[in-house]
Copies of this chain bind each other. A is one copy, B any other.
Amino acid sequence: MPDLLSRRRALLGPNVSTFYDDPIHVVRGEGVWLWDEEGNKYLDCYNNVPHVGHCNPRVVSAICAQAGVLNTHTRYLHEGILDYVERLTSTFADPLGTAILTCTGSEANDIALRMAEAMTGKRGIVATDATYHGNTTLVSHLSKSNVPEVGFGLGKYLRHVEAPDSYRIADPDGRHFAARVQEAIDDLEASGIGFAALIVCPLFLNEGFPAQAEGWLRPAAEAVRRAGGLLICDEVQSGFGRCGSHFWAHQKQGVVPDVVTLGKPMGNGHPVAGLVTTPEIMARFRSSFRYFNTFGGNPVSCAAAMAVLEELEEKNLQANAARIGKLAAERLTELAGKYEVIGDVRQSGMVFGAEFVLDRDTKEPASAYTDRVVNAMRHRGIILSKLGRHKNMLKIRPPMPFAEEHLHLLIDTLDSVLAEMPARA
């Protein structure tokens, strides 16, 4: 292990992040399980990229079959991309009927922001102050928590608004958030930059997936439209059935975005991503910019992505997300009855967690404690992480085939870790 870490530093450079104080050397994955090089088994409650399970046989065999027949770019005609985009867009409301396929969610968001510029002639982008949308020069500026020191001065086009936080900021119908968005829009317009788009994850997942009633995003969407801007929903984490109640989280939020970006779970780990938009926006973008992506939409990527859609449907995994999420909330609420350190429990289908606080009255975040819980869980064979505005929320976002038995193992283990770890230790 020290050897691997020193090779890593030499070959990949410093400051390359790992998970856990004692990083795991993984060698094998299957379904919701990972194994390390010593044969230890871990329940994967974190990874949303293997959406239909690590090494899902349908996806692996789709990749192998297509890789052995043809893999090339989209300047030739091929039915793979057309069949996939047809099936993908059939899950969206009109007029969201056209797509661009890329390799990463970063690339998709990078295009989405240019679509906003193409449609509005303006460049001002609004995002929350606790989000992440990717790593290109432009897109990296959306992350306030990790402001890059380099980035060609693009920070001037960004305005960050306070992230929703259902535990601390009362906002039952989204009007408080919409007012913050409106202020950012006004500021951009007053500055002469002008307003082009609001980009949000419709579950506000990195922000701590606050509890929100259906339709909560409507007031913000209305503010965006009134100002002539685009609503971009980044469904890289929230999409493909994860929220349980809907296939896309923006549908739960009661809005039809102008652009929806997709990524991580789309090919179950195969590098495929993309965006879905209206014919009007697509035409405007494509007349402003002759976009081509060598690997984007190749037959193997489309085969992997199609297998994910098929697996979700045949295994009824969206319904599973709804059922397991509900049960998770119940079991976490039980734990909240036992442990004062749990200040709040939240879930939205197959993403759920508990927020740790030092004091339920002051709601002071127990961020260091959360870190210790995450590391203790890792040593008990449970992989999860933390997130949110104060990094004091458990990030539990397992592959979609996560079943009842897995949930009980997760919660029972968390129960015993919390029992042994007093919050004020």
Given contacts A77-B5, A152-B123, contact A28 B289 (CB under 8 A): no
Contact B71 A50 (CB under 8 A): yes
**Given A85-B12, A289-B140, A295-B269: A70 touches B17 (CB 8 Å cut-off):** no
Residues in B whose Cβ lies below 8 Å from that of A4:
77, 79, 82
User: Which residues 175-209 of A have a CB within 8 angstroms of B?
Assistant: none
Among B17, B89, B292, point to the contact of A75 (Cβ < 8 A).
Answer: B17
Instruction: Contact check, A75 vs B148: say whether CB atoms are below 8 A apart.
Output: no
Q: Is the CB of A425 closer than 8 A to any CB of chain B? A: no
A70-B271 contact in complex given A137-B137, A140-B289, A154-B152, C-beta closer than 8 Å: no
Q: Are B264 and A294 in contact, CB atoms less than 8 angstroms apart?
A: yes
Q: Report the separation of the CA atoms of residues A16 and B74 in the bound assembly, to the nearest whole angstrom.
A: 9
Binary contact readout A88-103 vs B (1 if CB under 8 angstroms, 0 otherwise): 0100000001111011
* B152 in contact with A293 (CB, 8 Å): no
Is there an interface contact between A136 and B136, defined as CB atoms closer than 8 Å? yes
Question: Chain B's nearest CB lies how many Å from the CB of A99?
Answer: 7
Contact for A54 among B26, B71, B115, CB less than 8 A: B71
* Complex interface residues of chain A between 88 and 145 (CB less than 8 A to chain B): 89, 97-100, 102-107, 110, 113-115, 117-118, 123, 135-138, 140
Residues of chain B lying within 8 A (CB to CB) of residue A63: 63-64, 67
Q: Is the pair A60, B50 in contact by a Cβ cutoff of 8 Å? A: no
A contacts, CB < 8 Å to B: 1, 4-5, 7-8, 10-19, 23-29, 34, 47, 49-50, 54-55, 59-60, 63-64, 67-79, 81-82, 85-86, 89, 97-100, 102-107, 110, 113-115, 117-118, 123, 135-138, 140, 146, 148-154, 157, 263-264, 268-272, 279, 282-283, 285-295, 298, 300-301
| Contact status B14-A76, CB under 8 Å | no
B12 with A81: CB separation less than 8 A: yes
B105 touches A104 (CB 8 A): no
Q: How far is the CA of A115 from the CA of B104 in the complex (A)?
A: 21
Please state if A149 and B15 are interface contacts (CB–CB under 8 Å).
no
